[in-house]
């Protein structure tokens, strides 16, 4: 097929050449939180990517410069095992995942006989050879679909592409809630592995989810890397959609925004002081998915008084920005 024919086929099979990747921060460009140490269940160093676990697994996550050669990626998500889970109980698991809003998934036509196939592609480097799994979890239906990929060489970048059937029974809610999760399973106990997995099939039987899954977190020497994650409509994995840093940052800030001193407005024209309370406002760069939770490290205050020409002056100074606070509207 000629290049012109390939392009025509691509245009005909995709809704658009741009904005086709449903994943946010798939190239791990944005890392507002920075390196996260001693993590159990929390968001990782790279925005939108979350780690959850049941058991004793503890990890450190960071934005790494270890990437597949000649693919245009500058960063990856690094998962460094700091407390291993070598002996598993039945209910144990360790997962890296991203959650997607239902209102962004309506084009998939789930819940209809026209439910579309979607293709997930990514680059991964694992310390373990053997069978690994990526799962789609339809949270509005509590149904899941698993597919495996086999790592041929440990600690070596490998490209993976998987196409998943659509789900015809239940639609995604058309709102800002978590409707679909893309889940990379790094470890699972027998509650999830004791049955037989029929791949690319939607079901709700836990035991049949991950038969033969390797344990990526069984040694503190283990490091697992991920980048170039793309989820798109259709049965073909297209070249990765590289977005600008500014575009990706704005997408991430819908869920989490690290605020600097310029975002905190507390001053003579915009604060009220009553007793020990000072009120101001926070200027966000991006509209949040939901009402955010504001965090800060500490607040300092000082009061100065002086007498000049018979008048006593009282000046109160409040500083809420000892370290950058955060605004959190994660799914």
More confident residue, 152 or 19: 152
Domain borders along the chain are: 13-253, 258-328
Give CA–CA dist 182/50, Å, rounded. 10
203-213: per-residue pLDDT in tens?
Answer: 999 999 999 99
- Residue 307: pLDDT over 70: no
Reported as a single tens digit per residue, the pLDDT across 171-194 is: 999 999 999 999 999 999 999 999
Residues 86-143: pLDDT tens digits? 999 999 999 999 999 999 999 999 999 999 999 999 999 999 999 999 999 999 999 9
Q: Give the pLDDT of residue 13.
A: 47
Q: What is the residue-averaged pLDDT of the chain?
A: 88
Q: With a cut of 50, say whether residue 14 has pLDDT above it.
A: no
Check whether 312 has a pLDDT greater than 60: no
The pLDDT of residue 303 is above 90: no
* Distance, CA of 119 to CA of 229 (rounded, Å): 11
pLDDT at 164: 98
Tell me how far apart the alpha carbons of residues 268 and 270 are, in angstroms, rounded to a whole number: 6
pLDDT-derived band of residue 321, with 50, 70 and 90 as boundaries?
A: very low
> What was the pLDDT predicted at 295?
75
End-to-end CA distance of the chain: 43
User: What DSSP letter does each residue of 145-209 carry, written as one string?
Assistant: EEEEEEESSTTS-EEEEEEE----S-PPPSSSSEEEEEEEEEEE-HHHHSS---TT--B--GGGS
- Render pLDDT for 235-266 as a digit per residue (tens, 0 to 9): 999 999 999 999 999 999 999 998 876 565 55
pLDDT, position 69: 98
Q: Is the pLDDT of residue 302 over 80?
A: no
- Residue 269's pLDDT is 44
> What mean pLDDT comes out for the span 291-296?
80
How confident is the model over 35-44, as pLDDT tens digits? 999 999 999 9
- CATH fold of 13-253, please? Jelly Rolls (2.60.120)
């Amino acid at each position: 097929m000629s290049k012109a024919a390939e392009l025509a086929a691509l245009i005909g099979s995709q809704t658009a050449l741009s904005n086709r990747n449903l994943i946010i921060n798939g190239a791990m460009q944005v890392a507002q939180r920075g390196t996260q140490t001693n993590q159990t269940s929390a968001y990782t160093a790279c925005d939108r990517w979350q780690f959850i676990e049941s058991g004793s697994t503890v990890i450190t996550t960071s934005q790494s410069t270890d990437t597949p050669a000649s693919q245009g990626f500058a960063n990856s998500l690094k998962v460094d095992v700091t407390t291993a889970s070598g002996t598993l109980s039945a209910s144990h698991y360790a997962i890296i995942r991203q959650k997607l809003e239902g209102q962004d998934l309506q084009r998939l036509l789930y819940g209809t006989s026209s439910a579309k196939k979607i293709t997930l592609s990514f680059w991964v480097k694992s310390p373990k050879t053997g069978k690994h799994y990526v799962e789609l979890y339809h949270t509005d239906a509590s149904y899941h679909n698993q597919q495996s990929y086999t790592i041929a060489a440990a600690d070596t970048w490998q490209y993976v592409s998987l196409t998943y059937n659509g789900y015809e029974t239940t639609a995604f809610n058309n709102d800002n809630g978590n409707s679909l999760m893309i889940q990379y399973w790094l470890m699972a106990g027998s509650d999830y592995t004791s049955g037989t997995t029929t791949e690319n099939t939607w079901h709700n039987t836990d035991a049949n989810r991950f038969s033969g899954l390797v344990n990526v977190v069984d040694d503190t020497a283990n490091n697992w890397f991920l980048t170039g994650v793309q989820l798109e409509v259709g049965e073909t994995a297209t070249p990765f959609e590289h977005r600008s840093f500014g575009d990706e940052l704005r997408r991430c800030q819908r869920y989490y925004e690290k605020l600097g001193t310029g975002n905190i407005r507390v001053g003579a024209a915009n604060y009220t002081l009553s007793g020990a309370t000072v009120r101001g406002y926070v200027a966000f760069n991006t509209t949040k998915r939901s009402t955010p939770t504001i965090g800060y490290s500490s607040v300092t205050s000082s009061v100065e008084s002086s007498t000049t020409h018979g008048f006593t002056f009282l000046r109160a100074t409040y500083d809420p920005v000892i370290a950058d606070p955060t605004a959190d509207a994660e799914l």
